[in-house]
Amino acid sequence: MSDKFHDECGVFGIFGHPEASNLTYLGLYALQHRGQESCGIVSGDGKRLHSYKGMGLVSDRFKRDSIFDELPGRNAIGHVRYSTAGSSDFKNVQPIMVDYARGSIAVAHNGNLVDAQEVRNGLEHTGSIFSTTSDTEVLIHLLAKSQSDSLAERVAEALMSVKGAYSIVFLTETRMVAVRDPNGFRPLALGRLNGAYVVASETCAFDLIEAEFIREIDPGEMVVIDKDGMKSYRPFKETTPSPCIFEFVYFARPDSTIFGEQVYKVRKELGRQLAREHHIDADVVLAVPDSGVPATIGYAEESGIPFELGLIRNHYVGRTFIEPQQSIRHFGVKLKLNPVREVIEGKRVVVVDDSLVRGTTARKIVKMIRNAGAREVHMRLSSPPTSFPCYYGIDTPSRKELISSSHTIEEIARYITADSIGYLSREGMLSAAGVPEGCNGKRFCDACFSGEYPVKFPRLKADSQLGLF
């Protein structure tokens, strides 16, 4: 069982390039960290749409050059997905492509519609038949039912009928539409490449294909791209944006720019602030790789304690493996991480990670460091305690599984067997992300830390929601 939150997916789209499907493949490769369970591409040649998708990593599904012969055209969208437990199924793989009265349309979606089940119940009551368990399919049905003349109006009408988080890309035979919800929960960037328009969940995808980053698509903005160029619309009621701060803490790649900030810079500042709040006399600072590295560098710089690579990650671990029953203790963690005894033995160690969810992995890491000879082990987290589930497109455990929701910091320290534990304060986190003091965090959604949800949902039961893509 993973001890990290998982973002549900990443999206990519390109319009007007002769190598659209190839570039979409590369874009998805760069976004693979946002979803490892399935992937897909839909291309358009101006007359019809073509689809190829499946379970597994991008490199596994698109390993034959001949696949791209099945994806002709100058336009394409793509999707990588991480599903919640029990919803891993080929039928839910995106982009979803359908034919309806006005032609063909495909959609790739990052986020979660909090009222999807209620809307779906209403649609089924009036005769709609669903083929997936994904909330994204709800949008397809709403769009098909719309009587509006233009694609932009039909998309806007469908999205106005739901609530929640969406950074979403649509593709028809002749147009591409990219939309970000009014709260701007998930990132979505706009770029150019040799005259073609490109959209992606993160700018790291632009870097790989050498596209120019133009700007972020604003919260509540819709861009429509066709052969005549790009038009921008703002069809939704304006609201206070609340992008997800956990994108800075963990989800986004450190080489991306999101929400107007460079992720690596913010993560280093999270570490610096953590050192200010939770300094301790120690001999060495270690990172839990890879996501904890930037914050650890910041912690070391601010504290003056040397940073060392004391935990080495195996980058060739697959998503599944055959685990021995009793022969190797802590096998799952040992498969991924191995301590460097020469760095650790006899030392007072600070180990920095981005977050602590259930505490099970942290407990194994602390014991691993002790077994390597550490005199003391002090755990530091570059975010506050994660005490509440997310309903906006993140796979999170139920609240009862979140250790900080039911245990004090002292109890958590004892559970993970650390000499001490220190969480970054909410104020420190927000400050590192550029929120001026006194703003009370209104620039970001930090519901997983605070329990303050910017978009209300009908019910708080996990089983009331459709599967997250």
Q: What is the CATH number of the domain that holds 369?
A: 3.40.50.2020
Look at the chain and report how many structural domains it folds into.
2
> CA triplet 215, 221, 222: central angle to 5 degrees?
100
Between the ranges 333-342, 376-385, 435-444, where is the mean pLDDT highest? Answer: 376-385
pLDDT digits (tens, 9 = 90+) for 444-456: 999 999 999 999 8
Residue 95 tokens, joined:
């982009």
Same domain, 275 and 369: yes
Same domain, 236 and 348: no
Confidence of residue 465 (pLDDT cuts 50, 70, 90): very low
For the whole model, what pTM was predicted? 0.91
Low-confidence winner among 288-297, 383-392, 439-448, 457-466 (lowest mean pLDDT)? 457-466
Residue 468 lies in a domain: no
Longest dimension (CA), the chain: 72
Residue 234 tokens, joined:
């703002």
Identified catalytic residue from 9, 39, 445, 448 = 9
User: Which residue range is the domain that position 296 belongs to?
Assistant: 263-448
Residue 49 lies in a domain: yes
Cis peptide before 290 (omega within 30 of 0): yes
Residue 249 lies in a domain: no
Residue indicated by tokens 């890491």: 365
Same domain, 291 and 223: no
Confidence of residue 85 (pLDDT cuts 50, 70, 90): very low
Q: Is 445 one of the catalytic residues? A: no
**352/355 Cα distance (integer angstroms):** 9
146 or 467: which carries more pLDDT confidence?
Answer: 146
Same domain, 277 and 390: yes
Q: Answer yes or no: are the C-beta atoms of 168 and 148 closer than 8 Å.
A: no
Between the ranges 19-28, 90-99, 353-362, where is the mean pLDDT highest? Answer: 19-28
Q: Answer yes or no: are the C-beta atoms of 95 and 52 closer than 8 Å.
A: no
Residue type, 198: V
Residue 13 lies in a domain: yes
Same domain, 310 and 412: yes
- DSSP, collapsed to helix, strand or coil, labels residue 55 as strand
180 Cβ neighbours under 8 A, 6+ residues apart:
166, 167, 168, 186, 188, 217, 218, 219, 220, 221
pLDDT above 90: residue 377? yes
The chain-wide mean pLDDT, for the chain, equals 90
Same domain, 235 and 382: no
The pLDDT score that the predictor gives to residue 463 is: 39
Other beta carbons within 10 angstroms of residue 90's beta carbon come to 11
Helix ranges restricted to H, 86-239: 116-125, 136-145, 151-160, 204-209
The pLDDT score that the predictor gives to residue 161 is: 95
pLDDT above 60: residue 21? yes
**290/293 Cα distance (integer angstroms):** 6
Residue 147 gets which letter from DSSP? -
Same domain, 37 and 160: yes
